[in-house]
Chain A
């Protein structure tokens, strides 16, 4: 299976760069299991980047209300209309990008998983993440590596359904 791992973010805005940092940590772990790429893109630009892959894992920062920084959410495209980059009104969202790519006969991945890391600070100019977010970079890279290889693992990520149960 042809797989891409795409880390999204901006590495000069603290936690906004977490997707990029996880992708970099993954490179050493996944070898030839997947193409690991970094991008500061969204919307229409994702079509070309995802074109030709059967499966995609996207890593990005998220800011949900009342969540602890460093919490990792595992989502599907339909869940992500709540993230800023992947659901920007400045461009088209990921769901629309995937659908548009398919209609334009690009080969869009059928299986898309998003790992979204709760950010603490995405507005301060600076490299490197805050402590709580920095701590999950390695464990999240381990989880994604295990997902790709099919190895047994104890996930650090939670689904949005789990989040709802936890908050109920």
Chain B
């Protein structure tokens, strides 16, 4: 989606309203698909099976054993439906070749629209179910609630996210808003202005950069008031916005902040809560879009006539603000590109969250168990189940090693995945 918007900008073309709605429709289905996998397959086992459970049980199979076959089947079913919607709208569920400069390749067929409308009640119910599951199995469990509200998973930074004209959460289009740890707006920019607002710090030990707020300058891995570090992910989006644009998601949003006691919320484990609110929003928004008669308008593309040159596109990817910036020659061949991928925004926060979790859970003289490894990994997993998209590295496993050293630097223990 970000690349589609970037090439629109490269060709200086405004796409038809129906094309924008189709892209957003596809994107809502993608969000449902992505958030479902992130929560149910990769994050929920930590809470439902338990953070200290053996790895052999702390997975989606253990989750199904706990919550039952019917719920597990529903997860697979609704995820498949969201894939099917992507395929109906964009031709392919993954890697669609459908976004073109000026719009999309084809309008939505009337019969496909009716099929998608039939899926909406089930998708909304699935979104509500996720929040109920989180409430019943996580929030009602004191140990898990303590995990969410405790100081082991807390990080005080600025927050970034796309908002609409009413400052409500939006995924496909809007302006980027940044608030400070107290919720005051400190920055706001349109896609093409991003280089004036975001810069990237480099450390010698990694080729993944550390984005920060340019106006504040790089101040190191410091949290708190005045920091230049920001987070961009589900909880950040909720923190940045004044609310959700659909009724059921708005209700859930208000409940979350009432329970957390403050906004912006700095409790990192609430990220999963925010993710489930967004899943419900995506289902509701998908229903709104497919109910709109303009979605069937056959005018879905404007043929570009300007000479291509340079353009930026920004969307909210499931794991953070996604920026694509392309420079092209006069034939539209890309000569240079810059991407700030969702998780890349969170590189510094992830590093800091992992450090804080390690300091909290590794205590002097304490036994170092596999559960500890998982508690540190949980600080990572709230942002992203893996780093593959951000680093373009596909090792096929979680390459996680915890080395415990004493004050003199002597290695006391090493635990590897």
Interface residues of chain A, those whose CB is within 8 Å of chain B, are 10, 12, 40-41, 43-45, 47-48, 81-84, 87-92, 96, 99-100, 103-106, 123
Contact = CB atoms under 8 A, between A and B. Distances in A.
B386 A90 contact: yes
B41 interface: yes
A89 B398 contact: yes
Contact of B93 (A41, A81, A83, A99): A41
A47 B64 contact: no
B110 interface: no
Contact of B388 (A88, A103, A104, A106): A88
- Chain B contact residues, majority secondary structure: helix
Given A12-B95, A104-B69, A104-B72, A91 B41 contact: yes
A23 B141 CA distance: 49
Contact of B37 (A10, A44, A96, A99): A44
A87 B394 CA distance: 10
B234 to A, nearest CB: 17
B397 A96 contact: no
Contacts of A99: 61
Nearest to B69: A104
Interface residues of B, number: 29
Nearest to B387: A89
**Chain A at the B interface: SS class:** loop
10 contacts: A10-B94, A45-B93, A89-B385, A89-B398, A90-B385, A90-B389, A91-B42, A92-B41, A96-B59, A123-B392
Given A96-B59, A99-B61, A89 B388 contact: yes
Given A89-B385, A100-B60, A100-B64, A47 B76 contact: yes
Contacts of B392: 123
Given A104-B69, A104-B73, A89 B61 contact: no
B409 interface: no
Contacts of A90: 385-386, 388-389
A99 B386 CA distance: 22
Contact of A81 (B72, B73, B396): B396
Given A91-B385, A104-B73, 20 more contacts: A10-B94, A40-B94, A41-B83, A41-B94, A44-B76, A45-B83, A48-B76, A83-B396, A84-B394, A84-B396, A87-B397, A88-B388, A88-B396, A89-B397, A92-B41, A92-B59, A96-B61, A103-B61, A104-B72, A104-B76
